[in-house]
Chains A and B, each alone.
Chain A
């Protein structure tokens, strides 16, 4: 096992993902040549559906960072941003993207041809501070881009009131106006309705796929979680729905045939926080002792259903909820989500990635760990790392903790089996 590494994928559809990823980045590059306006935006909000409905090209710098991490480009980007004065204590997404846009963005060796420069920046007010700061820095780097200063109230899911929704709706409308004015593309509201329906269909499929993870043995693990690429970049397109349909079919077939990720599944694990993008192989590490990652917190963010009768409001609500669902805005809600997942998926133990790069997701973890133990008797282990920067990850520490944790879980299981037999 190395400090960096790729995961082993067992699903045929998960392997097909490479083509989906490549097609997407080719489409981004093509947009620039064809003169289709390219807009950079933060992930997980309703602007993506608006873009697809208006035939504009959305690009997600936050999603580009995992690509950089997987292809080994991140260390150079970090070096560049740190030289510019960006502290190594800042979120790795910020340091990576800042380093990337200040280097040769489309140079030789840049995977997938790199990102096309933006015509539009949907610059963020809302979400986490790093996500907001990323776009403010991008504004400086791309002074020619037209900037939409978006504004989204940061509010816990359980505290969303009418005034939050009303404001978010007015922001969606303002975005459409801005895009019409700056690009000349107009919004066809029937088309938007279709896009929202397709987006909702993707969420429905996502939920269905996740539901097969209740099966013992589990038909696929967190090692395949790269599939959420379609949820990040392709929401509102047929590509996402077609891919997820194939994925659903394969997962269903495996689940029903009782084909698991590994031959002898002994321990069902849960992962909290963002994966280590430079080492997705960690998800396979536990398999030698019979441990499989059955569920993770991150994937819950993609099951937000949309009320297709009222597309704009649905997108406004989605935008309001996405960040809140995975961050420290709603620790209570997150705890409920994790507890529910651990019950639904019959989890034996949970791994909490204490992520130096992501404070909003890391805050509240201790409370959730405590609740897991006291309410469900599910023990957990903490792994110190960072989702982007391998310098903040100690392989030796990880192995020691992971091995001890697995031994403890196996022992616990043995005792339980002895008692019941």
Chain B
């Protein structure tokens, strides 16, 4: 397979996810969904289930509006609609780390309408202390009990192996990020987003193997000449690569991201500790943080570091409309960036997806300001 073939395998995995997962479940795979990447997938995997991230995508919202208001993020509205239409029938249950009010509420609404064997919300601590780590470890043990109740099996060895597998995946993706910082990635940022998305809906063993296979083709291809303005994208989840394609279509480059469908999902690859559970806790404590967990001021230095490493000259904030954690941090973060000479722009993603015409005009203005 050449690089192109690998890339099409990833996009195929994204495109065919409903069928693939349905087939997998028919063949006996037990699948657990999650909304937010703060959900400890390693525990789910170690208990013998396949964790997948629930998608929203684009879909006409019709039935969901009888259950949820229209002022919640499109991601949650779309996924609810799909669930009501039966698209997630292959799921055995949902486990969700409490990061956002909407995700929490939606899980509870699913619970009333979509029959599954388990719905479980994990309270995540905000602080890092001996007590909060102990608390989080107990919450994870409780999750194991819940998974055992529906037929899961657990051993420390299994968790050790799951941690190793996900660490390998994260290292491989982060390696692609490193290449992107260095301007040596032989494909576009839109392709990278697709690769990330494939990881949400593939068996991790297969995903890791595919990434490994692709690695052999990365050095041989000559990377394209760096051109255009380097941009960092920051936001919650970006499902559709359209925004990146538009930016790239203008000849600019997305060189870094702060997305939960991106860096935040992978960094850091692992945690430290003597027993597997401690390593899992440690990693979650040290994650590249989301606004739903920390203060805007804590994220500014991290963003500046990313900007420094990637050479980004401007930031595009891509928010899901109504997304409180991100919207609430935006004024402080954008002001801090501005005072450090980094301009930014906000794109809100609504129901109808990206409003192309308007978006293009705004982006054009933004780019010409950066070029000036």
Q: Which residues of A contact B (CB under 8 A)?
A: 84-87, 89-91, 94, 125-126, 128-130, 133, 136-137, 139-140, 149, 151, 153-156, 159, 161, 163-164, 166-167, 170-171, 174, 327-332, 354, 356, 359-360, 362-364, 366-367
Contacts and interface: CB of A to CB of B under 8 A. Distances in A.
Contacts of A126: 126
A367 B67 contact: yes
A367 B109 CA distance: 8
Interface of B: 66-69, 71-72, 98, 100-102, 104-106, 108-109, 111-112, 121, 123, 125-127, 131-132, 134-135, 138-139, 142, 292, 295-297, 321-322, 324-325, 327-332, 334-335
A133 B131 contact: no
A149 B101 contact: no
A230 B72 CA distance: 33
A356 B138 CA distance: 36
Contact of A90 (B121, B125, B297, B327): B327
B71 A155 contact: no
B71 A356 contact: yes
B127 A87 contact: no
Contacts of B322: 89, 359
B139 A163 contact: yes
B127 A149 contact: yes
Q: In terms of DSSP, what is the predominant structure of the interface of chain B?
A: helix
Given A167-B135, A359-B324, A366-B66, A129 B334 contact: no
B258 to A, nearest CB: 17
Contact of B104 (A87, A151, A328, A332): A328
Contacts of A154: 98, 104, 121, 123
Given A139-B295, A328-B105, A359-B72, 19 more contacts: A84-B331, A86-B331, A90-B324, A125-B127, A129-B101, A136-B297, A140-B296, A164-B123, A166-B135, A167-B131, A327-B101, A329-B98, A329-B104, A356-B69, A359-B102, A359-B105, A363-B72, A363-B109, A364-B109
A136 B67 contact: no
B69 A133 contact: no
B108 A137 contact: no
A221 B324 CA distance: 34
B121 A91 contact: no
Contacts of B132: 151, 167
B69 A137 contact: no
A164 B104 CA distance: 17
Nearest to B64: A366
Contacts of B121: 154-156, 159, 329
A137 B328 contact: yes
Given A170-B131, A329-B104, A133 B125 contact: no
A296 to B, nearest CB: 19
Contacts of B331: 84-86
Contacts of B67: 366-367
Nearest to A161: B142
B332 A137 contact: yes
A84 B69 CA distance: 27
14 contacts: A84-B331, A85-B330, A85-B334, A85-B335, A125-B127, A126-B126, A137-B332, A163-B135, A166-B135, A327-B105, A328-B104, A332-B111, A332-B112, A367-B109
Contacts of A362: 69
Given A129-B100, A153-B135, A94 B328 contact: yes
A367 B105 CA distance: 12
Contacts of A87: 327, 330
Given A129-B292, A328-B104, A163 B109 contact: no
B105 A364 contact: yes
Given A125-B126, A151-B132, A156-B121, A331 B328 contact: no
Given A156-B121, A167-B125, A366 B68 contact: yes
A44 B334 CA distance: 32
A94 B329 CA distance: 12
A90 B131 contact: no
Contacts of A163: 135, 138-139, 142
Contacts of A153: 123, 125, 135, 139
A155 B71 CA distance: 24
A133 B101 contact: no
The 4 closest A-B pairs by CB, nearest first: A125-B126, A328-B105, A363-B105, A153-B123
Contacts of B98: 154-155, 329
Nearest to A320: B123
A10 B342 CA distance: 58
Contact of B125 (A151, A354, A359): A151
A129 B330 CA distance: 14
B315 to A, nearest CB: 14
A136 B300 CA distance: 14
A85 B317 CA distance: 13
A163 B139 CA distance: 7
Contacts of A331: 105, 108-109, 111-112
Contacts of A137: 328, 332
Given A153-B123, A328-B104, A129 B325 contact: yes
Nearest to B139: A163
B123 A363 contact: no
A154 B330 CA distance: 24
Nearest to A163: B138
B366 to A, nearest CB: 16
A325 to B, nearest CB: 14
A367 B114 CA distance: 13
A90 B321 CA distance: 10
Contacts of A356: 69, 71
Nearest to A160: B123
A149 to B, nearest CB: 6
B235 to A, nearest CB: 13
Contacts of A151: 125-127, 132
Given A167-B132, A329-B104, A332-B108, A129 B69 contact: no
Could you say which of A140, A153, A170, A327 has the most chain B C-beta atoms within 10 Å of its C-beta? A153
A366 B297 CA distance: 37
Contacts of A359: 69, 71-72, 101-102, 105, 322, 324
